[in-house]
Amino acid sequence: MEILKENERIDDLQRNHYRIIQDPGRFCFGMDAVLLSGFARAGEGDRVLDLGTGTGIIPILMEAKTRAAHLTGLEIQPESADMASRSVRLNHLEEKIEIVTGDIKEAVRLFGAASFDVVTSNPPYMTEHHGIANPDAPKAIARHELLCTLEDVIGQGARLLKPGGNFFLVHRPFRLVDILALMRQYRLEPKRMRLVYPFADREPNMVLVEASRGGRARLQVEKPLIIFSGPGVYTDEIRETYGY
């Protein structure tokens, strides 16, 4: 079995001795994906779907951190999906994690409505398309809403969830009004939110949101999550999240 292809590397995830295959020239997972895997919850026996899984980082970390029965990652870029599949095999997780190549906009058709207990997503953040030299480049697709929009992610996520199921999203604070409005539009009730700050005295640069399909209206805003206590020094909470 071919594990690594040209320009790829294997990184240690610091969890259960799991590792992941990445290609720095295409796109490597960031802190947002790691924080989402720590923020998201899955109960024993749950079926979990990650929309836009990239190289499979969120399903692999959630398999390590939860007792979910099965996790699926959906990824539209065949090269990234192939890398994710090889990472699953590398960690001998074939019976727990499946990687599917497909379009988020077709997710309900692919999997069926109300087929998951938990849906997660770390979608493209940027709506502006100007300045993109190559719209087919993996990094552009991962960062900009070229192949799917925020509404696609939330709308499909809502339909994929069982009643009472939970949706977990990481995004940018400047899209927060859009996020909450779209969740309500698709009958996902925001239940929990946490803002992420690079330093305690800076503006937040990420937001983590949990919503419940058909839940009652009550939003819990958790204490801020601070990344750095000083230049290049992670806070204790971030070190714990990363498994250091």
Q: Which one-letter amino acid corresponds to residue 234?
A: Y
CB 140 within 8 A of CB 129: no
Where does the pLDDT of residue 24 fall: very low under 50, low under 70, confident under 90, or very high at 90 and above?
Answer: confident
Chain segment 212-223, per-residue pLDDT in tens: 999 899 999 999
Residue 145 CA to residue 130 CA, distance in Å, equals 12
Q: In this predicted structure, what is the pLDDT of residue 215?
A: 86
Q: What mean pLDDT is predicted for residues 61-65?
A: 96
Indicate the domain borders of the chain. 9-242
Per-residue pLDDT tens over the stretch 161-181:
999 999 999 999 999 999 999
What mean pLDDT, rounded, does the chain reach?
90
For 9-242, CATH gives: 3.40.50.150
User: Per-residue pLDDT tens for 121-166?
Assistant: 999 765 655 455 455 555 544 554 456 799 999 999 999 999 999 9
Q: Are 70 and 96 in contact (CB under 8 A)?
A: yes
35: tokens are 């924080």
pTM of the model: 0.92
- Distance between CA 7 and CA 9 in Å, rounded? 7
Which neighbouring-strand residues pair with 220?
A: 192
Q: DSSP secondary structure string, 47-87?
A: EEEEET-TTTHHHHHHHHHS--SEEEEEES-HHHHHHHHHH
Please list the residues that pair with 12 across neighbouring strands.
Answer: 19
